[in-house]
A and B are shown apart, each in its own frame.
Chain A
Amino acid sequence: AQTVTQSQPEMSVQEAETVTLSCTYDTSENNYYLFWYKQPPSRQMILVIRQEAYKQQNATENRFSVNFQKAAKSFSLKISDSQLGDTAMYFCAFLRRGGSNYKLTFGKGTLLTVNP
């Protein structure tokens, strides 16, 4: 079974600064995906970024980028130029590729607050 650990229950950052959220995971699989989802107070879960484990290049989406360290089983999210709208719960999630179903395994989340 896979587990996902987010060791930072809460973080805060000043507007326009950079913040990094941590995630580690445990799996015996070699072929999988990793995701960061954002859940604002309105509660709709929004996909922020995804990483395919077989790709060495770190994924980037505008101000969001990841640092994927496969050997260390680490998958951190960096948010640059933080904006007030980035305030949300952030969940790291794992998905095994090639299985009979496609279930996401989530961490407990990190509450990020962006201060003006």
Chain B
Amino acid sequence: ETGVTQSPTHLIKTRGQQVTLRCSSQSGHNTVSWYQQALGQGPQFIFQYYREEENGRGNFPPRFSGLQFPNYSSELNVNALELDDSALYLCASSFRAEKETQYFGPGTRLLVL
């Protein structure tokens, strides 16, 4: 276990709805990254937060947004859900002094119908 937790574990939504996924970082970790893992693929970088500010973004539209809170927990919000948003969403936290090593949570499986 990495100490990174995510909720919920599974979620079913319909197209057009909005969803919020949550992540609690490992204690002492102040950087959090979110990844989308489609079935049979490697994870794709969505964005990263450091000290509550977005610190880099992958090739995802603005309807993917995030927040990081003072306690370093984080949220991923997706608006106007599309069928292709169905995936496993992973968050990963890292300690700024060793920022290259990321520790992953178990993920949230999102199904959009």
Q: Which residues of A contact B (CB under 8 A)?
A: 4, 33, 37, 42-47, 50, 91, 93, 95, 97, 99-109
A-B Cβ contacts below 8 A, count: 66
17 contacts across the A-B interface (CB closer than 8 A): A43-B88, A43-B107, A44-B107, A45-B43, A45-B90, A47-B102, A47-B103, A91-B42, A97-B100, A99-B56, A101-B55, A103-B33, A103-B58, A104-B45, A104-B92, A106-B44, A107-B42
Interfacial chain A residues near B20, Cβ < 8 Å: none
Number of interface residues of B (CB under 8 A): 29
CB closest chain-B residue, reference A6: B42
A107-B55 Cα distance, complex, nearest whole Å: 23
A45 contacts B48, C-beta separation under 8 Å? no
Which one of B42, B56, B102 lies within 8 Å of A108 (CB-CB)? B42
8 nearest A-B pairs in the assembled complex, by CB-CB distance: A101-B56, A106-B42, A45-B104, A103-B45, A44-B106, A101-B48, A102-B99, A101-B55
